[in-house]
Amino acid sequence: HGRSRVFRQDGDPEEVIQEAIDTCPVDCIHWVDYTKLKNLEDERQYQVIPRAGLPIEPSVVAAKIKERKLARKRRKKR
């Protein structure tokens, strides 16, 4: 399994990003169409991302799941 994370949009030149995509051994980096970016960001808003090699606290995961469910309910009411 690989992992990749963007911390800032347009933080590097496209050539550097493409090099990272081309050299990623597990294909976890890819271009995303701008029109789909907002949806993807909304989906991962409550994602728990542990530091590499450290366990995830079960209480943190439970809290994030609860937050996500509440957010979905709010969106459905709109």
**For residue range 58-76, what is the model confidence (pLDDT) as tens digits?**
777 777 778 888 888 888 8
Q: How confident is the model at residue 19 (pLDDT cuts 50, 70, 90)?
A: very high
Q: CA-CA distance, 63 to 76, in Å (whole number)?
A: 20
**Which residues, at least 6 apart from 56, have a Cβ–Cβ distance to it below 8 Å?**
48, 50
Domain boundaries, the chain: 1-31, 37-77
**For residue range 25-43, what is the model confidence (pLDDT) as tens digits?**
888 888 989 889 888 888 8
Q: CA-CA distance, 28 to 39, in Å (whole number)?
A: 18
7 secondary structure, DSSP code: S
